[in-house]
Copies of this chain bind each other. A is one copy, B any other.
Amino acid sequence: MTGNDDVPRTPLAHRVPDLGALELLLAVARHGSLGRAARDVGITQPAASSRVRSMERQLGVALLDRSPRGSRLTEAGALVTDWARRVVDAAEAFDAGAQALRDRRDSRLRVAASMTIAEYLLPGWLIALREERPDTAVSLLAGNSAAVARRLVTGEADLGFVEGLSIPEGLDGTVIAHDRLVVVVAPGHPWARRRTPLLPGELAATPLILREHGSGTRQVLDAALAVHGGLAQPLLELSSTTAVKGAAESGAGPCVLSELALGEELSARRLVQVPVAGVRLRRQLRAVWPGGHRPTGPARDLLSLTGRGG
């Protein structure tokens, strides 16, 4: 339905070393020695030696210059290591998010966040928080703005994050970041080659791939284009940000998404941004808390990590 059945898709996991191996490689790069790296990741030196060797066999490239004085990365090894770091970083974000999810019930800091923020920003913040306060257990509840507000009011959560134009009733808050909505298309789409910005009327008149009604993204877009004739009938209405990206990438048509959700797709040119003139597609990202008192303790720590409110 979304045209998302993808490529032939050969088994990726067989061509990429597992996380343990990638971590080991990073450790070798850090320490300059297989043995020290092995100790760092908690295995023995022969295990590390063997593991790196199979990685080299798998990739078909020499990664290390072994010498009796230690091991240094080859030129290819340096590149591979950097790609490995990105995988490990993503895995760390995964872990941080999962940890929060796991400790849902018995934790000390309970965060409620909108889906977009929970997906794209929170895991990174949680990694940072864990470095500063390793003993803080964080739980995470995801939902729309109304759900976040309700959970704060009822005391089910200590701190919330929402996108949107205003602060929900009964809460205090502060703007922590801005988020732009951008129009993107697949590289093959005619709009990808445009030099002149899209006009609001043009955008409004074009059928787009959108999140379903009620999503924060769509509300902002609706409001911004109301004066230009309102949105055209959508091309597709999908239920998740990722589904929208997938449809757009496979060439179904243009879509409008938060730039937060588009980092990798844009730099990898899987999607291309289309300039737009004369419409303000910014929205605020806010931290919110129960009215009256500023957050304290772990909630304040997390807040300060997001850039505001130390």
Whether B91 and A87, one on each chain, are in contact in the complex, defined by CB atoms closer than 8 angstroms, is yes
Contacts of A128 in B (CB 8 A): 187, 268-270
Binary interface encoding of chain A residues 4-24 relative to chain B, with 1 for a CB under 8 A from any of its CBs, else 0:
110111011101101110010
Closest to A187 in B: B305
Query: If the complex has contacts A16-B19, A79-B118, A267-B263, are A187 and B307 also in contact, measured as CB distance less than 8 A?
Result: yes
Docked complex: A97-113 residues within 8 A CB-CB of B: 97-99, 101-102, 104
Q: How many copies does the complex hold?
A: 2
Query: Shortest beta-carbon distance, A211 to chain B, in Å?
Result: 14
Query: If the complex has contacts A94-B84, A260-B267, A264-B89, are A11 and B42 also in contact, measured as CB distance less than 8 A?
Result: yes
Docked complex: A47-91 residues within 8 A CB-CB of B: 59-61, 75-76, 78-80, 82-91
Partner pick for A16 among B5, B91, B267, CB 8 A cutoff = B91
Q: Taking beta carbons and an 8 Å cutoff, which residues of A are in contact with B?
A: 4-5, 7-9, 11-13, 15-16, 18-20, 23, 30, 40-42, 59-61, 75-76, 78-80, 82-95, 97-99, 101-102, 104, 115, 118-121, 123-125, 127-128, 131, 134, 140, 142, 187, 192-193, 240, 242, 260, 263-264, 267-270, 272, 304-307, 310
